[in-house]
Structure 1
Amino acid sequence: MIAYCDEKGTEAESGQDLEIKTKGQPEDFCTRVDIENENLVMEGLLKSFPTHTIIGEESVGNNPLPPLTTDPTWIIDPIDGNTNFASGLPLTCVSIGFCDKKNPVIGVVYAPMTDEVYLAVRGYGAYRNGVKITQRETKALCDAVVCFEFGYARDQEAVDKMVGAVRKILEHGCRTCRCLGSGVLDLCYVATGRLDVVYAGVAGEGWKPWDYCAGFVVATEAGCTMQPIAQLSKTDFDIYSSSVICGVSSNLVQELRATISRKCMAFA
């Protein structure tokens, strides 16, 4: 899989036809490589685990999300950061997560352009290229690198909420803001300290299970806190949630939540 993804990762820069197909709106699309990657991963998993369930982004397509059952389940994003990939930007990855009795327990993320592998197993820690990721010093929001993803929402109300959240963060104060275009890598970068906190979903533009699953295991095994935006009392993150805040500490997550909640509403 790794050699395949590395080879295909050069296609956008080489000008080859990626056969881009939209999924109902121009911002949401897949390429030929998405489908080829997903088929390759699914074939390999089913060969080793023929009785397991697989939920893949491209196999789901525009259909309703299948429910997560207690069956052993693999959740795949064949290319996260599709716009980056199609544009020749390096922040893209393949994400494979595994759930046991509905709980994410294994996460594998491969970023071919930067040649990085993130691996985490519940209870055994998280690793980047074989080196264990260790907990870092916590930060206040005023000192934090804050990442957000706007997703595909484009109506006026949603845009106002998304931009309003960024405005509140800037008014409160932070070191800087970033929007990188790959939710899975956002979570891995919070785990490794490249980012301090990431959020998405203030206007229903949150992510899908394949954006959360593997990254959730990597981030939480590295000591990070990951929660939906609105549910203050919820301790276990639901990979079917439509919103997320992931930060290096629970205090930072709470501070960011309080800051963006001043004006933004309708969190999920």
Structure 2
Amino acid sequence: MIDKYRLDDDGRYEFAVSVIREAGDLALRFFDNLKDLVIEKKGHQDLVSQADKEVELYIRESLGKAFPEDQIIGEEGGNSMPNDSQKSEFVWVIDPIDGTANFVSGIPAWCVVIALVHKNSVLAGLILDPVRNELFEGVAGVGSFLNHKPIYVSKSKSLSDGSVAVGFSNRSKPGFINRLVNLIVDDGGVFYRNASGALSLAYVAAGRLIGYSEDHMNAWDYLAGQLMVKEAGGQIEEQDISSVLVSGGRVVAAAPGVFDDIQKITDHAMK
């Protein structure tokens, strides 16, 4: 546990670290026994598994029991709202398994995500890759960490200096990803996609990737990772968090030396 700060959160962050570790262990047990996994299809290129449901249930029950006054927003379980008379100003935003398509196919590129929002600001974010035992942490005003050691974004000054992660979904505008990839390549860059937006954002924060672009992501997919990029010295597109919690938003996050280039390319790809 990072001991360099004290958050005014009544122990929520420290508790969340223990919860995400347990959730990761649970998810990993499912991943190691995929032949028994029950999988459902929610829509085009949109899967949900027994693992998603049970991991989210564990996180919800753990957080709800410890902090019953907090709101919880999750990918599978929707929005759980406490009684108005007991409601706090804290909101948990969770994705039990980001990268479900990878998970159910046995591809080790998925993660568990928890973000903590307070008064319309993202206070902290956690992204755990159980397969690699990598815990990414971001704390507003403090920094970003990988397994408790500080991490920083790339020092790249050009798209040719590294790989740009890209994302798209069934919500993307027709042709967006084609245009985005072509523009990156035309600028001398290399594109990367691992089908887990949260994990890709963590990699940007750690300097493994130089940036990330997607025309729309849900709050549970990116609030934690976007905070990490910012706290690791990167640039992001600032947004109204209350709106993001309801509708999601566009994501451009990158090292300072390439942020403007990636933002410009994203603008053009969305036209």
TM-score category (smaller protein): 0.7 to 0.9
Q: How does 1:4-23 map to 2 (within 5 A)?
A: 4-23=23-42
Q: Is the 8 A contact 1:166 1:260 kept in 2?
A: no
Q: CA deviation at 1:70?
A: 8.0
Distance of 2:157 and 2:88 partners within structure 1: 37
Distance of 2:51 and 2:33 partners within structure 1: 14
Once the two structures are superposed, residues 133-184 of structure 1 have per-residue CA deviations (whole angstroms, 9 ceiling, x without a partner) of: 1354232123231110122258xxx34232012112111211x211111111
Q: Is the 8 A contact 1:92 1:185 kept in 2?
A: yes
**Alpha-carbon distance change, 252 to 209 in structure 1, aligned in 2, over 3 angstroms:** same
Identity of paired residues, percent?
Answer: 29
Unaligned runs of 5+ in 1: 62-68, 228-234
Residue 252 of structure 2 is aligned to residue 254 of structure 1: no
**Alpha-carbon distance change, 198 to 263 in structure 1, aligned in 2, over 3 angstroms:** closer
TM-score by length of 1: 0.82
Distance of 1:243 and 1:215 partners within structure 2: 13
Q: CA deviation at 1:14?
A: 3.2
Q: Is the 8 A contact 2:120 2:240 kept in 1?
A: no
Q: Is the 8 A contact 1:147 1:197 kept in 2?
A: yes
**Alpha-carbon distance change, 147 to 105 in structure 1, aligned in 2, over 3 angstroms:** same
Distance of 2:138 and 2:269 partners within structure 1: 36
Distance of 1:102 and 1:160 partners within structure 2: 33
Unaligned runs of 5+ in 2: 1-18, 80-86
Q: Is the 8 A contact 1:169 1:260 kept in 2?
A: no
The residue that corresponds to 1:106 in the other structure is: 124
Distance of 2:268 and 2:68 partners within structure 1: 49
The range that moved more, 5-14 or 123-132, is: 5-14
Q: Is the 8 A contact 1:106 1:121 kept in 2?
A: yes
The residue that corresponds to 1:184 in the other structure is: 198
Q: Is the 8 A contact 2:153 2:210 kept in 1?
A: no
**Alpha-carbon distance change, 17 to 136 in structure 1, aligned in 2, over 3 angstroms:** same
The residue that corresponds to 1:167 in the other structure is: 182
Q: Is the 8 A contact 1:145 1:196 kept in 2?
A: yes
The residue that corresponds to 1:211 in the other structure is: 221
User: For the aligned residues, what is the CA RMSD?
Assistant: 2.2
Distance of 1:142 and 1:8 partners within structure 2: 36
Q: Secondary structure of 2:194's partner?
A: coil
Q: CA deviation at 1:72?
A: 1.0
How many residues are paired up? 241
**Alpha-carbon distance change, 29 to 248 in structure 1, aligned in 2, over 3 angstroms:** same
**Alpha-carbon distance change, 136 to 161 in structure 1, aligned in 2, over 3 angstroms:** closer
Residue 101 of structure 2 is aligned to residue 83 of structure 1: yes
**Alpha-carbon distance change, 185 to 15 in structure 1, aligned in 2, over 3 angstroms:** closer
Once the two structures are superposed, residues 96-127 of structure 1 have per-residue CA deviations (whole angstroms, 9 ceiling, x without a partner) of: 00010011111111111111111121111111
Instruction: Choose the corresponding residue for 1:244, options 223, 245, 251.
Output: 251
Q: Secondary structure of 1:117's partner?
A: strand
Q: Is the 8 A contact 2:144 2:150 kept in 1?
A: yes
Matched AA of 1:106: A
Distance of 2:202 and 2:71 partners within structure 1: 25
The residue that corresponds to 2:140 in the other structure is: 122
**Alpha-carbon distance change, 70 to 217 in structure 1, aligned in 2, over 3 angstroms:** farther
The residue that corresponds to 2:46 in the other structure is: 28
Q: Is the 8 A contact 2:156 2:162 kept in 1?
A: no
The residue that corresponds to 2:83 in the other structure is: none
**Alpha-carbon distance change, 8 to 77 in structure 1, aligned in 2, over 3 angstroms:** closer
**Alpha-carbon distance change, 10 to 172 in structure 1, aligned in 2, over 3 angstroms:** same
Distance of 1:256 and 1:194 partners within structure 2: 16
Instruction: Choose the corresponding residue for 2:91, options 49, 55, 73.
Output: 73
Instruction: Choose the corresponding residue for 1:150, options 164, 168, 176.
Output: 168
The residue that corresponds to 2:59 in the other structure is: 41
Residue 67 of structure 2 is aligned to residue 57 of structure 1: no
Distance of 2:105 and 2:270 partners within structure 1: 31
Q: Is the 8 A contact 1:226 1:237 kept in 2?
A: no
